[in-house]
Amino acid sequence: MLSPQNPDSKTDRAYPSFGPLSPENNAFGVPVGCAHTLTRISFSLHFLRSRKMLLRCAFLVLFLAFCSAQLDKFRWPRWEERTIDCTSSGRRDGCVLIARNAKVERDPAKYKCRREPMPKNEWNTLAKNSTTRLACPIGCEPDADLSVIQKKPANNTLCQKYYTYGKYRDHNEGEWYLWLTEPCVANLTTHCRFKDIPLYNDGSTAGNSN
pLDDT tens-place string over residues 94-131: 999 999 889 889 999 999 999 999 998 889 988 888 99
Q: What integer is the mean pLDDT of 78-83?
A: 93
pLDDT interval class at 194 (50, 70, 90) = confident
Residue 60 near residue 192 (C-beta atoms within 8 A): no
Residue 31: Cβ-neighbour burial (10 angstroms; 0-12, 13-18, 19+): middle
Tell me if residue 30 falls in helix, strand or coil: coil
Average pLDDT over residues 182-204: 82
Among 196, 192, 209, 207, smallest CA distance to 97 is for 192
Q: If DSSP codes are grouped into helix, strand and coil, which group holds residue 35?
A: helix
Predicted model pTM: 0.61
pLDDT at position 210, please? Answer: 41
Which positions ≥6 away from 98 have C-beta within 8 Å? 82, 83, 84, 85, 108
Whether the CB-CB separation of 83 and 137 falls below 8 Å is answered with: no
Min mean pLDDT across 35-49, 76-90, 93-107 is at 35-49
